[in-house]
Amino acid sequence: MYALEVNELRKTYGNGVEALKGISLTVEEGDFFALLGPNGAGKSTLIGIVSSLVNASSGETKVFGTSVQQQRSLAMSHIGLVPQELNFNQFEKPLEIVVNQAGYYGIPRGVALERAEKYLRQLNLWDKAENISRTLSGGMKRRLMIARAMMNEPRLLILDEPTAGVDIEIRRSMWDFIREINDQGTTVILTTHYLEEAESLCRNIAIIDHGEIIKNTDMKSLLATLDVETFVLDLRESISHCPFVEGMEIVVRDEKTLEASLPKQKSLNNLFAELDRQGVHVLSMRNKANRLEELFMGLVDKSQANGGAA
Amino acid sequence: MSSNLVWVGYVTIVRKEITRILRIWGQTIVPPAITMTLYFIIFGELIGRRIGEMGGFSYMQYIVPGLVIMSVITNSYGNMVSSFFGAKFGKHIEELLISPLPNWVILAGYVTGALARGLMVGAVVLVVSLLFTPIEVQHPLIMLSVLLLTAVVFALAGMVNAIFAQKFDDIAIIPTFVLAPLTYLGGVFYSIALLPEFWQKVSVVNPILYMVNGFRYGMLGVSDVSLAMTYGVILIAGGILFFTCLFLLNRGTGLRT
């Protein structure tokens, strides 16, 4: 059974904007699935329809085989949602917010209090449980929304840019938490603009643009299609001219930094050996952009050049 | 759908609403108590002494039921409209919209919250009135049933307002331009028997007249309208508003895009 099954889903808003143009998609149970796309691509509309906040114009959405349109209540009992925007009452306390959320799923107060402690502790919020929520930092507020979404222990957790504006340390701790949840069997759908996040966490991916799915595959296969990778090389000494290595494109960024673009079939050993032979010594190296980011940009550019359909 | 979901969900909404009312008691309970105390002092004590009797009671006693029901009306309406619209504006209504709770439970929870505030304020106003004049309740069951049903009707009306409201101005228009005039002209301060015939006829189309007089009958035993009409108007208005709210919630009007 699929955790999520979307068939020919369309959404046209009242102002005539066609946000989804008949998309179909499946997410396997237990998967860690990335839903990527530029701003305005239709990701949030899709998540809105799955979580019943947006009414579809046509098509069907099933969560663990239950139709969101036909049996909303049962379908919603499987879902936990972490939305993009803060949507809790900032005058309430974190403990109140998460315990109330459990109540909306019919979870008795005693159980809700136990779960609240468990998830607020896991997300390092327990010592803030009785503070007024608006006094929490941005990162804490985001973690509070994750704790709230976990209160019904959902089979499908949807995270819409959960780490936006969060510092790297907290972001990594959030990744660990979400990874653990997924390891325990919860299906996770993640949208993010940090492609490094999607690459490191997700096993399958769909890229959506202009309301259409332009790529839907597993992460490994997608990354394998990357033809050229660009590396930034920091040099020990300044160079006066750009070195030449056959079959690779090398650009001088400044006198102590080079950018080298390598086709997939070329080895990094060749590059280093050739640079060494020309007296260029490399101190350190990093990817110019995340691999997924390069692919993503390529796919989206191609889609936009084709007027929306890749 | 399990009965556990319905009951726990309902109790959670009610608890949340009552917590909110008590947390901001300075905005919810105190202002109506002060306003009503001023009404009792000015209309009941100072002006009322010159007016004399009305309906066989001192003017102060005559206006007590009207002022109690007026505060119940404005507070049950006000609680619903400010709480539900506030949740919509702050987007935390989404906590409920993505939950498995059916819409009728959400409606029942919010209505009960609004009812709770109406009753709390009504009780405070009644206690304040007892500082000014003794009251002997004639028909407690009628008094209580009219009070509860009236609070429910105005809670439902507040929900309709909150569903359609898009900005804070929209939740102020109805209370200011519709509710307040209808309440003041609904016999809170006078018997419609005092009005010229034409205005008596106009007054009978005001639904609040029936609620004020029904409550006054329960408390003092006098009324300008029949009890059957009071219950009829309240039940019809409540039924229409209940189904309107449910229809709007099921459709997602103003809530789901």
Which residue in B140, B150, B141 sits closest to B119, CA to CA? B150
From the list A13, A53, A85, the residue facing B98 with the nearest CB is A53
> Nearest residue of A to residue B17 by CA position?
A100
Asked if B257 and A53 come within 8 Å (Cβ–Cβ), the reply is yes
User: Does A48 lie at the interface with B, CB-CB under 8 angstroms?
Assistant: yes
Q: What is the pLDDT of residue A310?
A: 43
CA distance A256 to chain B (A): 51
Asked if A105 and B99 come within 8 Å (Cβ–Cβ), the reply is yes
- The answer, yes or no, to whether residue A126 has pLDDT greater than 80, is yes
Terminal CA-to-CA distance of chain A, rounded, Å?
29
Q: Starting at the edge strand that comes first in sequence, how are the strands of the sheet with A156-160 ordered?
A: A79-82, A156-160, A187-191, A32-36, A204-209, A212-218
Q: What is the pLDDT of residue A93?
A: 95
CA distance A63 to chain B (A): 13
Is residue B257 in some structural domain? no
From the list B2, B12, B102, the residue facing A103 with the nearest CB is B12
Amino acid at A87: N
Residues 213-272 of A with CB under 8 A from B: none
Terminal CA-to-CA distance of chain B, rounded, Å?
25
Token pair, residue B222, equals 């006098």
Token pair, residue A67, equals 């139709």
Query: Chain centroid to CA A95: how far?
Result: 27
- Averaged pLDDT for residues A14-43: 90
Q: What is the pTM of this model?
A: 0.84
Is residue B147 in some structural domain? yes
> Nearest residue of B to residue A100 by CA position?
B12
Asked if A87 and B92 come within 8 Å (Cβ–Cβ), the reply is yes
A57 contact residues in B (CB cutoff 8 A): none
Helix (H) or strand (E) holding A262: strand A257-263
B4 contact residues in A (CB cutoff 8 A): 106, 108
Model confidence pLDDT, tens digit, residues A188-240: 999 887 777 788 888 898 988 889 988 888 877 777 776 677 888 888 888 88
Q: Could you tell me if A248 and A266 are in contact, meaning their C-beta atoms sit under 8 angstroms apart?
A: yes
Residue A115: count of CB within 10 angstroms of its CB: 20
Asked if B90 and A77 come within 8 Å (Cβ–Cβ), the reply is no
User: Does B97 lie at the interface with A, CB-CB under 8 angstroms?
Assistant: yes
Q: Could you tell me if A73 and B102 are in contact, meaning their C-beta atoms sit under 8 angstroms apart?
A: yes
- The answer, yes or no, to whether residue A308 has pLDDT greater than 80, is no
Q: Which residues contact B7 (CB under 8 A, 6 or more apart)?
A: A106
Percentage of chain B lying above the pLDDT 90 cut = 61
Cα dihedral A70/A75/A81/A86 (nearest 10): 40
Query: Chain centroid to CA A174: how far?
Result: 12
> Nearest residue of A to residue B100 by CA position?
A73
Q: Domain A2-224: give its CATH superfamily.
A: P-loop containing nucleotide triphosphate hydrolases (3.40.50.300)
- The answer, yes or no, to whether residue B17 has pLDDT greater than 80, is yes
- The answer, yes or no, to whether residue A53 has pLDDT greater than 60, is yes
Which residue in A296, A206, A221 sits closest to A26, CA to CA? A206
Helix (H) or strand (E) holding A84: none
Asked if A55 and B252 come within 8 Å (Cβ–Cβ), the reply is yes
Asked if B9 and A54 come within 8 Å (Cβ–Cβ), the reply is no
- The answer, yes or no, to whether residue A290 has pLDDT greater than 80, is no
Q: Could you tell me if A114 and A151 are in contact, meaning their C-beta atoms sit under 8 angstroms apart?
A: no
Band (A309; pLDDT cuts 50, 70, 90): very low
Query: Chain centroid to CA A203: how far?
Result: 11
Strand residue runs (E) in A201-256? 204-209, 212-218, 228-235, 249-254
Q: What is the pLDDT of residue B153?
A: 96
User: Does B253 lie at the interface with A, CB-CB under 8 angstroms?
Assistant: no
Q: Is the ipTM of this structure higher than 0.90?
A: no
Name the residue range of residue B167's domain. Answer: 3-251
User: Does A89 lie at the interface with B, CB-CB under 8 angstroms?
Assistant: yes
**Backbone phi and psi for residue A206, each to the nearest 5 degrees, phi listed first:** -130, 135
Is residue B67 in some structural domain? yes
Which residue in B138, B143, B156, B167 sits closest to B237, CA to CA? B156
Strand partners, A215: A207
Asked if B16 and A100 come within 8 Å (Cβ–Cβ), the reply is yes
Q: What is the pLDDT of residue A294?
A: 67
Model confidence pLDDT, tens digit, residues B141-179: 999 999 999 999 999 999 999 999 999 989 988 888 888
User: Does B182 lie at the interface with A, CB-CB under 8 angstroms?
Assistant: no
Q: What is the DSSP string of A148-168?
A: HHHTT--SEEEEESTTTT--H
Asked if B100 and A54 come within 8 Å (Cβ–Cβ), the reply is no
Band (A307; pLDDT cuts 50, 70, 90): low
B12 contact residues in A (CB cutoff 8 A): 100, 103-104
Residue B253: count of CB within 10 angstroms of its CB: 12
- Averaged pLDDT for residues A38-58: 91
Q: Could you tell me if A189 and A159 are in contact, meaning their C-beta atoms sit under 8 angstroms apart?
A: yes
Band (B1; pLDDT cuts 50, 70, 90): low
**How far apart are alpha carbons A46 and B4 in whole angstroms?**
30
> In b/e form, how buried is each residue of B72-84, taking b as 16+ CB within 10 angstroms?
bbbbbbbbbbbbb
- Averaged pLDDT for residues B220-228: 92
Q: What is the pLDDT of residue A305?
A: 67
Residue B192 DSSP code? G
Domain count for chain B = 1
Q: Starting at the edge strand that comes first in sequence, how are the strands of the sheet with A249-254 ordered?
A: A249-254, A257-263, A228-235, A282-287
B101 contact residues in A (CB cutoff 8 A): 73, 104
B5 contact residues in A (CB cutoff 8 A): 73, 105-106
